[in-house]
Amino acid sequence: MGVNSASAWFLGKAALGEGGKAVIDAWARSDSRFDSRAGASDVREAYVAGSRGDWDFSAGRQLIAWGRADSVNPTDVLPARNFTLLTPLDEDQKTGVGSVRATWNRDALRLSALWLPEFRSSTLPLPAVPGVSFVARDPSAAARQWALRAEKSGERVDWAVSYFDGYERQPDLRPEVFSAAGARVGLAHTRIQMLGADAATTVGRYGLRTEVALTRTEDRHGTDPFTRNPFLYAVVGGDRTFLTDLNVNAQLLYRRVVAWEDPAAAPAPLRELALRQALLSNQRDAEQAGATVRVARKWWNDTLEAELSGVAWFARGDFLVRPRLRYAASDRIRLTLGGDLYRGPADSFFGSLRNLSTTFVEVQYNL
């Protein structure tokens, strides 16, 4: 299906007194799919920030990203994501949430405490199923979300330890009504506690990174096939630059689901939904190993850049391949050609997204 999309992005910053600032980041778009049209807009960030002595403060809707691994970040649980947003960059799909942050700085050490009174759900490309309606069920106690982070940088090893107690941004599929007339599925959000750590260092010409997160959910004993189970997610890898402008990055991935039960064992009327829930949360298997690879090179004073990246899970042989070619025609005009290729068995994470495979051309003009 062909899609045309026009979007406008706005980023504004203003100084507030000595050391203070106000930031707003927003976008609006209009998509055309054959004869139908859809429009949307979002304010990704809108906050004020300032400093006093060893302390930094900020309040408002903020996009706070965690993790040092390349693209795959198990600890990055604070932002919501709009997976339906047509953009070549995954980072542009992220959106901030309302939060208040206080950070104490002492040399290279930063200690942060956050309160997140706003809940924002990730937006998923759910398929249209005849007779099935999906209903958003946002948590009623959104203000009971908080996080802590300690990080140190500027020395031989950069590291951070993070903790989050709040709600999973990506919803679970929970059956509410099943009848001959149709079905209603709730998009519910489990409360999670995430404890994670990440680190990065250099050894000679190699950059090394690792990141790990242990996430506890409401289904601690694995008895509910419609609530994601607790899980461990780890990434380790590194990169090296060859010939001054050829960068190669490789990482190993590992996921282990606690108290896993096969969703195919769910009762027949709910089995298909249980399998869809397992695929959506990437918990189809109790244990998974995988890898990511990214190769990028620049030419012509960095105006032309080619990148080929991929992610694969070994258990079921599913994978995602992403080629990108970017050209800066001038300071204002940038052209991007790329694609996303999802492949694998239908009952695998990337295989279930096969219909989202696409190629695209983007023309970007900066005012």
Q: What is the pTM of this model?
A: 0.93
Contact 124, 144 (CB under 8 A): no
CA 224 to chain centre: 25
How many Å is the maximal CA-CA distance in the chain? 65
* pLDDT tens string 31-62: 765 444 567 899 999 999 999 999 999 999 99
* pLDDT tens string 62-75: 999 999 999 999 99
Report the share of the chain in percent with pLDDT over 90. Answer: 81
Residues paired with residue 205 on neighbouring β-strands, in sequence order: none
pLDDT (average), residues 3-9: 85
Structure-block tokens of residue 98: 């309302």
Residue 153 binned pLDDT confidence (cut-offs 50, 70, 90): very high
Which has the closest alpha carbon to 241: 199, 301, 296, 200? 296
245 DSSP assignment: T
* Distance in angstroms (rounded) separating the CA atoms of residues 264 and 285: 11
Other beta carbons within 10 angstroms of residue 171's beta carbon come to: 26
Which has the closest alpha carbon to 135: 180, 167, 182? 182
pLDDT at 35: 43
* Distance in angstroms (rounded) separating the CA atoms of residues 189 and 172: 6
pLDDT at 111: 98
Scan for tokens 């590992």, then name that residue.
254
Which has the closest alpha carbon to 245: 154, 306, 170, 312? 306
Going from the C-alpha of 88 to that of each of 73, 92, 227, 335, the distances in angstroms are 18, 8, 31, 11
Q: Helices in the chain by DSSP H: which ranges?
A: 268-280
pLDDT at 38: 61
User: What integer best gives the mean pLDDT of the chain?
Assistant: 93
Contact 354, 340 (CB under 8 A): no
* pLDDT tens string 257-316: 999 999 998 888 788 899 999 999 999 999 999 999 999 999 999 999 999 999 999 999
138/128: higher pLDDT: 138
What is the DSSP secondary-structure string of 167-216? E-SSPEEEEEEEETTEEEEEEE--EEEEEEEEEEEEETTEEEEEEEEEEE
- CA torsion through residues 172, 177, 180, 182, sign: negative
Report the share of the chain in percent with pLDDT over 70. Answer: 98
